[in-house]
């Protein structure tokens, strides 16, 4: 069977609050995205994933939705969305939105009604519990710290996987499910090309709601209760009633899905087109990031996953997103962050088996920011965990250090467009601090420079789309090579007699490998030394070859 369209695309993720502010209120907006479409077209991306733009009190930057049908005024209007869809379409680009249906906002009309009247229909759209004493119904801990339960004035407790302003929707209720499907189809009919599906493995609950034992005596982390048995019924129904009716692309954030259930999620007939490959997301916890051992561990995780996924289905490959720190900080030691290492990282993942995603700013090598206090941070998760640490009498300074390095705000600082005030992101006061390095790292500076990271990303997307190679990336097998050469990350993609080889040296010194100089399609260095059946790779050299080497 020939590749689905979403196997041939490069996706660009936009965090709308931080992308480009067209009206000077300090917050990015839809018209700002429309203004930058030519930039994105030139970058060579085909699909834009836009994080939530719906009406929201913004407790979790839009992942708390109070009206699924309306664009939040802070981002513009529904007419602006129509215009964006139309302008993107003119340029041959598609838009996918975030679908957040594990929970909504406590300011959604459904929840307000449910709070006002325990017997109304909407009360059945959520999980409420009464307890005899004033105890929480169980010991489960929410993803943002604290209990999953919050008590209403009338004594009822409601359930939330994330913050207390994000009450979970009760998927057991067929009426609720119908409402959700209606909304999904409404957006698909409007012309969105699909969805990134948020936190979807949380929608099925352990309905016993029994407390669970923990080793430390603290609450039981809800993140252990993903992909709960019975979830498949809901997901099959959503696929049949919505996704199958449109030729859409769906990419699920599906924590907890391992090899056992991968096929159900992202196999040929899976619930979704693909799921994000999170198997190598947490490499940042390794102490000495760019040591040979660390690279070897990363190599193993990536290729274990590739071997499995390439037989089982399809995945989305990425280095960054709005929940992660910047990839250069995550995978490299500070002193090694440079064009060569950043482009080596990019080359490493871009041609893997799966659809590559680029996160805004990654293409210019944006870095983590410096956070001096919790007060500078905006992230509800960082604040929740900080508060929790104080309650548990742990050292809050440690939490600050953790979030400075790994916190989500690192990827949410404004896009660095130029060296003017606020990095050219806004004429107003930015909603979150701008990374101080914008004078050095920005689009304007890199746009005209052929040896910039931005120019390199353009070459990556161009190669991905080149007629003769497109099938190789969309259909081809993946095979790791040079497995035993320390800190060398190399693979072949192959389809129908045509092959492409990717070789990346993550060693801080030169590295010799077996290989002949096949036609070089891409090289992040000016030269490549070849002699007597050997190639001498410079530190952080990344080369893509036509054929095998
Ligand atoms: C997902 C999103 C994250 C959000 C959470 C709750 O993990 O990526 O940003 O906070 O879901 O919706």
Q: Determine the Cα–Cα distance for residues 396 and 408; give it in Å rounded to an integer.
A: 17
Q: Is 223 in the pocket of ligand 1 (CB under 6 A)?
A: no
478-546 in CATH: which number? 2.60.40.1180
> Which ligand 1 atom is nearest residue 380's CA?
10
> Which ligand 1 atom is nearest residue 162's CA?
6
User: How does strand 94-99 pair with strand 47-50?
Assistant: parallel
Annotation says 260 is catalytic = no
Contact assessment for residue 36 and residue 238, using Cβ atoms and an 8 Å cutoff = no
Q: What angle do CA 431, 436, 438 make, to 5 degrees?
A: 95
Strands (E), 47-87: 47-50, 54-55, 67-71
Could you tell me the pLDDT band of residue 285, with boundaries at 50, 70 and 90?
low
Query: pLDDT tens-digit profile of 57-116?
Result: 999 999 999 999 999 999 999 999 999 999 999 999 999 999 999 999 999 999 999 999
What value does the mean pLDDT of the chain take?
A: 95
Ligand 1 centroid, distance to 143 Cα (angstroms)? 9
Could you tell me the pLDDT band of residue 292, with boundaries at 50, 70 and 90?
confident
Could you tell me the pLDDT band of residue 343, with boundaries at 50, 70 and 90?
very high
Could you tell me the pLDDT band of residue 205, with boundaries at 50, 70 and 90?
very high
Cα 6 to Cα 10, 194, 196, 218, 342, distances in angstroms: 8, 10, 13, 43, 26
Is the confidence at residue 284, as pLDDT, over 60?
A: no
> Which ligand 1 atom is nearest residue 408's CA?
9
Residue nearest to atom 12 of ligand 1 (CA): 63
Ligand 1 centroid, distance to 159 Cα (angstroms)? 16
Tokens of 202: 């949380």
109-159 in CATH: which number? 3.90.400.10
Q: Is 40 in the pocket of ligand 1 (CB under 6 A)?
A: no
Q: Is 198 in the pocket of ligand 1 (CB under 6 A)?
A: yes
Ligand 1 centroid, distance to 248 Cα (angstroms)? 22
Q: Is 323 in the pocket of ligand 1 (CB under 6 A)?
A: yes
Query: pLDDT tens-digit profile of 426-479?
Result: 999 999 999 999 999 999 999 999 999 999 999 999 999 999 999 999 999 999
Which H or E run includes 302? helix 292-312
Q: Is 136 in the pocket of ligand 1 (CB under 6 A)?
A: no
- Domain-wise residue ranges, the chain: 8-104+174-461, 109-159, 478-546
Ligand 1 centroid, distance to 54 Cα (angstroms)? 14
Q: What is the pLDDT of residue 287?
A: 58
Tokens of 120: 């109304």
Ligand 1 centroid, distance to 495 Cα (angstroms)? 37
CATH 3.20.20.80 fits 8-104+174-461, yes or no: yes
Is the confidence at residue 423, as pLDDT, over 70?
A: yes
CA dihedral over 458, 459, 464, 466, signed as positive or negative: positive
Picking from 518, 528, 523, the residue whose alpha carbon sits closest to that of residue 548 is 518
Contact assessment for residue 40 and residue 88, using Cβ atoms and an 8 Å cutoff = no
Q: Is 64 in the pocket of ligand 1 (CB under 6 A)?
A: no
To the question of pTM greater than 0.75 for the whole model, the response is yes
Q: Determine the Cα–Cα distance for residues 465 and 10; give it in Å rounded to an integer.
A: 9
Best residue among 16, 63, 64, 103 to mutate for probing ligand 1, ranked by most atoms within 8 Å of CB: 63
Q: Which residue has the tokens 């710290």?
A: 145
Cα 68 to Cα 185, 261, 409, distances in angstroms: 12, 30, 25
Picking from 99, 72, 79, the residue whose alpha carbon sits closest to that of residue 194 is 99
Residue nearest to atom 2 of ligand 1 (CA): 198
Q: What is the pLDDT of residue 1?
A: 43
Q: Which residue has the tokens 């836009």?
A: 50
Is the confidence at residue 195, as pLDDT, over 80?
A: yes
Q: Is 199 in the pocket of ligand 1 (CB under 6 A)?
A: yes
What's the rounded mean pLDDT across residues 316-337? 94
Residue nearest to atom 3 of ligand 1 (CA): 323
> Which ligand 1 atom is nearest residue 102's CA?
12
> Which ligand 1 atom is nearest residue 60's CA?
10
Is the confidence at residue 217, as pLDDT, over 90?
A: no
Lowest mean pLDDT among 66-70, 325-329, 371-375, 394-398: 394-398
Ligand 1 centroid, distance to 198 Cα (angstroms)? 6
Residue nearest to atom 9 of ligand 1 (CA): 323
Ligand 1 centroid, distance to 185 Cα (angstroms)? 22
Is the confidence at residue 286, as pLDDT, over 70?
A: no
Of the residues 253, 360, 409, 492, which is catalytic? Answer: 253
Long-range contacts of residues 427-430, Cβ cutoff 8 Å, at least 24 apart: 427/21, 427/24, 428/21, 428/24, 428/25, 428/26, 429/26, 430/21, 430/26
Q: Is 98 in the pocket of ligand 1 (CB under 6 A)?
A: no
Q: Is 100 in the pocket of ligand 1 (CB under 6 A)?
A: yes
Annotation says 253 is catalytic = yes
Ligand 1 centroid, distance to 13 Cα (angstroms)? 14
Of the residues 72, 80, 198, 277, which is catalytic? Answer: 198
Higher-pLDDT residue of 19 and 133 is 19
């Amino acid at each position: 069977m020939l590749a689905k369209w979403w196997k041939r695309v490069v996706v660009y993720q936009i965090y709308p609050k931080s992308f480009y502010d067209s009206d000077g209120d300090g917050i990015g907006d839809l018209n700002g995205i429309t203004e930058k479409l030519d930039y994105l077209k030139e970058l060579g991306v085909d699909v834009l994933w836009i994080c939530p733009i719906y009406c929201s009190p913004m407790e979790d930057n839009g992942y708390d939705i109070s009206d699924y049908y309306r664009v939040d005024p802070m981002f513009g209007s529904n007419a602006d969305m129509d215009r964006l869809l139309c302008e993107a379409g003119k340029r041959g680009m598609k838009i996918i939105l975030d679908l957040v249906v594990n929970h909504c906002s406590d300011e959604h009309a459904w929840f307000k009604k449910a709070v006002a009247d325990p017997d109304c229909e909407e009360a059945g759209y959520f999980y409420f519990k009464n307890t005899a004493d004033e105890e929480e119904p169980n010991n489960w801990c929410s993803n943002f710290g604290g209990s999953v339960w919050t008590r209403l004035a009338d004594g009822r407790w409601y359930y939330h996987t994330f913050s207390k302003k994000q009450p979970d929707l009760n998927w057991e209720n067929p009426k609720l499910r119908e409402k959700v499907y209606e909304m999904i189809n409404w957006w698909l009919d409007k012309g969105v090309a699909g969805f990134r599906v948020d936190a979807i493995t949380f929608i099925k609950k352990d309905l016993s709601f029994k407390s669970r034992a923990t080793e430390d005596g603290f609450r039981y982390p809800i993140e252990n209760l993903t992909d709960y048995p019975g979830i498949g019924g809901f997901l099959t129904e959503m696929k049949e009633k919505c996704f199958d009716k449109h030729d859409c692309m769906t990419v699920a954030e599906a924590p907890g899905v391992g090899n056992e259930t991968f096929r159900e999620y992202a196999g040929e007939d899976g619930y979704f087109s693909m799921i994000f490959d999170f198997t190598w997301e947490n490499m940042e916890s390794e102490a000495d990031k760019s040591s040979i051992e660390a690279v070897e561990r990363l190599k193993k995780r990536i290729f274990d996953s590739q071997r499995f996924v390439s037989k089982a289905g399809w995945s989305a490959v990425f280095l960054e997103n709005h929940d992660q720190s910047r990839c250069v900080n995550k995978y490299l030691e500070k002193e090694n962050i440079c064009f060569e290492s950043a482009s080596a990282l990019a080359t490493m993942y871009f041609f893997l088996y799966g659809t590559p995603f680029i996160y805004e700013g990654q293409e210019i090598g944006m870095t983590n920011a410096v956070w001096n206090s919790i007060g500078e941070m905006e992230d509800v998760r960082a604040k929740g965990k900080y508060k929790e640490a104080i309650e548990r009498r742990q050292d809050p300074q440690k939490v600050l250090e953790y979030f400075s390095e790994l916190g989500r705000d690192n990827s949410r600082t404004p896009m660095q467009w130029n060296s003017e005030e606020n990095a050219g992101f806004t004429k107003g006061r930015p909603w979150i601090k701008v990374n101080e390095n914008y004078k050095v790292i920005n689009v304007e500076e890199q746009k005209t420079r052929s040896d910039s990271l931005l120019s390199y990303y353009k070459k990556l997307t161009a190669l991905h789309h080149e007629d003769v190679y497109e099938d190789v990336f969309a259909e081809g097998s993946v095979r790791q090579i040079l497995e035993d050469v320390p800190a060398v990350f190399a693979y072949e993609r192959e389809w129908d007699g045509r092959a492409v080889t990717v070789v990346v040296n993550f060693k801080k010194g030169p590295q010799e490998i077996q290989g002949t100089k096949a036609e070089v399609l891409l090289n992040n260095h000016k030269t490549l030394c070849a002699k007597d059946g050997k190639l001498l790779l410079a530190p952080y050299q990344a080369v893509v070859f036509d054929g095998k080497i």
